[in-house]
Amino acid sequence: MKGGRPLLTAGVTALAPAIWGSTYLVTTEWLPPDRPLLAATVRALPAGLILLAFARTLPTWIWLWRALVLGTLNIGAFLFLLFVAAYRLPGGVAAMIMSVQPMFVLILAALFIGDRIRFTHVAACGLGAGGVVLLVFKGTVALDFVGVAAALGGAACMATGITLTKRWGRPDGVGLLPFTGWQLLAGGLVLSPFALSVEGLPTTITGTNIIGFAYLVSLGAVISYAIWFRGIERLPALAVSFLSLGSPIVATLLGYLFLHETLSILQLVGILVIIIAALLAQPRPAKPRGLGPHDSADSDNPAELGRDPIADRAGGRSR
């Protein structure tokens, strides 16, 4: 494997959280106000239907429930809890609490995938959380118990979704697009009753709203989630989890550029610290060939040894 390939894969995967960071701006400026659950549902459900119609691949029985579990964790329950936390907690406190997500992944990946916990991983978790605090914290605030529980639940959902997606992989012969479509459809179905009962349908839809919804379905769901699940296949679970911290970075920068929000020196330091943490968590390039019989490449995942991590787990997949 070429030395720069893990970082290249990480760079491509980071595009997904970057797109998700832009959805905050799209939601506030282009969509009907005060309907975040509707936005999440419209983002996931049509995207899943489009991908299934395009790919024409349905899951087998075992993957029917697995897709439901993954779609609920990665999309449905995660987005629901995220919005609850955002409404119950002020400022960037929700993002600050949810920055513990890589710590959850660190533990879950060690328990269920067999990834080794290294000192650099622990240090990266601390740096990542500290960077998010510098980026989003706005001073002393009163914490709402429900909001804090929702934020922690959202972090746990995403961490578990990443870990299970990595552990289960994809069924043999199924492409990335139908695999993404299964999860988007499941997540949208989970969200739908909450969106309809809590918010209902908007009475008027403008041309700007339609553009906003189209952005969420195309870039915010179809493209970004396909990139995200591709990254989970090719990178260690912890490495992927740190890339999600790019979402508040993009949201902060776009808020500064288009919404005239402030951007302080501490926030810039926070952005730099998050980037350093994400780089620390990425797999090291493979060592040169010619290792002795008693040497090892000391890698976090098979991809660093020049092997395909998905092919190596093929024997454990359900066909």
Dist. CA 269–CA 37, nearest whole Å: 33
Domain ranges of the chain: 5-283
- In the prediction, which pLDDT does 19 show? 95
Can you give the pTM of this predicted structure? 0.85
Give pLDDT, residue 302: 41
pLDDT at 3: 42
**Alpha-carbon span 247 to 255, nearest angstrom:** 12
pLDDT of 303: 40
Residue 140 has what pLDDT? 60
| Mean pLDDT split into 10-residue runs, the chain, 319 residues | 71 95 88 88 95 92 96 94 81 81 96 93 94 82 82 95 96 94 96 92 92 95 96 95 93 89 91 95 71 46 41 42
Would you state the pLDDT for residue 266? 92
298 phi-psi bin (left φ>0, alpha ψ -120 to 50, beta other): left
Q: Write down the pLDDT at residue 147.
A: 87
The pLDDT score that the predictor gives to residue 317 is 44
Quick one: pLDDT at residue 288?
Answer: 57
pLDDT at residue 295 in the model: 47
Q: Is 144 exposed, middle or buried (0-12, 13-18, 19+ CB in 10 A)?
A: middle
What is the structure's pLDDT at 307?
Answer: 42
- Token readout for 134 is 């510098």
pLDDT of residue 94: 79
**Residue type at 195 in one-letter notation:** A
| Cα–Cα distance for residue pair 198/297, rounded to 1 Å | 53
What per-residue confidence (pLDDT) applies to 7? 87
